[in-house]
A and B are shown apart, each in its own frame.
Chain A
Amino acid sequence: MTTRHHFQEALQEVHDEILKMGTMVEEALDTALRAFRDKEIVLAEHVIAEDQNIDQMQLLIEDRCTMIMATEQPVATDLRNLITAIKIASSLERIADHAVHLSKTTARLEGKTKMDPLRSLIVPMAEEGISMVKGALTALTEHDVEKARTVALHDNRLDEIHTRLFDTLINFQRENPDFAYQTTDLLFLIRFLERMGDHVTHICEWIILRETGKHTELNK
């Protein structure tokens, strides 16, 4: 006989909300990238406006987890699920902030066709980062420790692209001092994309903790 129906339902709600938040963040990233690549300002503005919903979702998840901890005294897997939900919601919120950064850059670059070649160099980096986010969310849904480890390995690739693009952007800036403002904007952007990989790595580490009870440091 199973017991604690109310508790089970509350845990299920947290699980569903994390997946919903993950989907919202994926959509924000996909839209932000499309806006950046295709110069769709309206789409970029949409991502910026919708970010508050993701922020609300994070608070909702944190509050719900806190209430469950206060009233139900969860232990073992239940406790790990809740701690992981709080940590992952926080990382997802930060990732969504990077979708906003990407969108704001898109808006600021409007009409600056000189930056187009650089823009197309950054798109693959953003794609790589977004694919990491999607991989982590799959690992989360499927309770897949090996997938979490594999996804986190891609962070090294993101770091390599960042280093290469950094040099390219610095050279461009030296040769085009009139575009120093826009190039600096892109330097920040690639830094944010690189940070996105770190947030994904954290999510993967928390997935592993949830499944095994052991802390693992990925990509030391």
Chain B
Amino acid sequence: MEQNETKLKIKVDKLDLYYGDFQALKAVDMDIHENKVTALIGPSGCGKSTFIRTLNRMNDLIDSVKIEGNITYDGTDIYRGYDVIELRKKIGMVFQKPNPFPMSVYDNVAYGPRTHGIKNKAQLDEIVERSLKGAALWEEIKDRLHRPALGISGGQQQRLCIARVLAVEPDVVLMDEPTSALDPISTSRIEDLIDELKMNYTIVIVTHNMQQAGRISDSTSFFFEGVVIETGPTEEIFFNPRNKKTEDYISGRFG
């Protein structure tokens, strides 16, 4: 279908992940396509957050984690072909709760570029404006750039966190339940934003909100007990899933 017309951005091949003796992911295969939104759904503890964190090597920080299988990004193995800092610049992450740094709005967005060596004020101004515009926050916040980021609303904070990711010019944006702490209006803003972002970025999103997965994603994968039970075009998953387990989960029969 449409999926095949765009380039393969991330390929996951037989991924096993263990936390000590516990196997959290079992032989996960997944193709993530460029400029598409891929939704990961499944009940709590199914492995979807573990999976998304593996895509930019966030699980490296946990000692007991053992990973087998392959993940390639643009054809290169993410564990052998990339420095982890370089990888996370390319593959950014937005978390469930907005987590702005305790500094100004401006400094939050400029933090990443400064870390990567950009000191020039005009250049930073340009990056901050472009990133906040990209996150659909500029018009609301342009007169308050030097106010504390913790003083803006939760929905604005989450868009600020998206702007912070965009500031380092990533290629892929991972989102782990980005709207679960937000009200419906802020949620709609983020969903509209995701729809715009996919023109320039590849997006992978974990969500507990079935309707959200239905609204915003092109492809949906259903995780259960560490296994990908079913992957397909989102409209097929929600209208005519092949697997009974998928059907039971999306229609709220369990989970």
Contact = CB atoms under 8 A, between A and B. Distances in A.
Interface stretch (B48-56, B195-203, B237-245): B237-245
A200 to B, nearest CB: 24
Interface in A46-84: 73-80
Contacts of B238: 75-76, 79
B158 to A, nearest CB: 24
A4 interface: yes
B252 A3 contact: yes
Interface string A1-22: 1111001000000000000000
B135 interface: no
A74 B251 CA distance: 7
Contact of B253 (A3, A79, A80): A3
A56 B190 CA distance: 43
Contacts of B240: 76, 80, 212-214
B171 interface: no
A80 B239 contact: yes
A76 B210 CA distance: 12
Contacts of B22: none
B210 A75 contact: yes
Contact of A73 (B210, B241, B253): B210
Nearest to A7: B252
B252 A76 contact: no
Contact of B247 (A3, A76, A214): A76
Contact of A4 (B210, B239, B247, B252): B252
A76 B241 contact: yes
Given A3-B253, A4-B252, A4-B253, A79 B239 contact: yes
A1 B255 CA distance: 9
Interface residues of B, number: 13
Given A73-B210, A75-B210, A75-B214, A1 B254 contact: yes
Decide if the interface of chain A is mainly helix, strand, loop or mixed.
loop
A78 B250 CA distance: 11
B212 to A, nearest CB: 11
Interface in B203-255: 210-211, 214, 238-241, 247, 250-254
Contacts of A3: 252-254
A78 B239 contact: no
Interface residues of A, number: 16
Contacts of B210: 73, 75
B253 A213 contact: no
Nearest to B252: A4
Contacts of A7: 252
A78 B251 contact: yes
B251 A75 contact: yes
A137 B25 CA distance: 47
A73 B211 contact: yes
Contacts of A76: 238-241, 247, 250-251
Contacts of A80: 239-240
B150 to A, nearest CB: 35
A79 B254 CA distance: 17
A78 B241 CA distance: 12
A213 B254 contact: no
Interface in A177-220: 212-214
A77 B238 CA distance: 9
Q: Which of B210, B214, B252 has the most CB of A within 10 A?
A: B252
20 contacts: A2-B254, A3-B252, A3-B254, A4-B251, A4-B252, A73-B210, A73-B211, A75-B238, A75-B250, A75-B251, A76-B240, A76-B241, A76-B247, A77-B247, A78-B251, A79-B239, A80-B240, A213-B239, A213-B240, A214-B240
Interface of A: 1-4, 7, 73-80, 212-214
Given A2-B253, A76-B241, 15 more contacts: A4-B252, A4-B253, A73-B210, A75-B210, A75-B214, A75-B238, A75-B239, A75-B251, A76-B238, A76-B239, A76-B247, A76-B251, A79-B239, A212-B240, A214-B240
